[in-house]
Structure 1
Amino acid sequence: MAVKPAIISGGKKMNFTIISSVVTVISLFVFLGILYWAFSSGNKERFEKLARLPIENENGK
């Protein structure tokens, strides 16, 4: 019995190239969302506070 290289979905064949392209586009949007979250101004104060934690712990505060 041979393995078919295509996934059948709703009667249409989806080959690896299409699936790979969809995963790539989804990954791009997730990456852009993470960048937006990381550099948004609402997180600046929180990240600065977290960045000071190692220094504060070192000084015994």
Structure 2
Amino acid sequence: MDLNTATWTKSSYSGSNGGQCVEVALNLPGVVAVRDSKNPGGPSVLTTPAEWGLFITAIGRRR
């Protein structure tokens, strides 16, 4: 999949010290892309919006 049109947003939980940083692109049709912001040219994980929603819900329950 071509991710050149992806609009990446950095997680609000990512620190500014260059540590564990995650970016997500929600603007792609039928796909949610996730990547490491320290390595933007590296691999991205692709998932469906439904699976992403389940993941976010599960994280919210762990707080």
TM range (shorter): 0.3 to 0.5
Per chain length, whose mean CA-contact separation is higher, i.e. which structure has more relative contact order (CA < 8 Å, sep 6+)? 2
TM-score (norm 2): 0.33
More helix as a share of residues: 1
TM-score (norm 1): 0.34
State the structure with more CA Rg. Answer: 1
More strand as a share of residues: 2
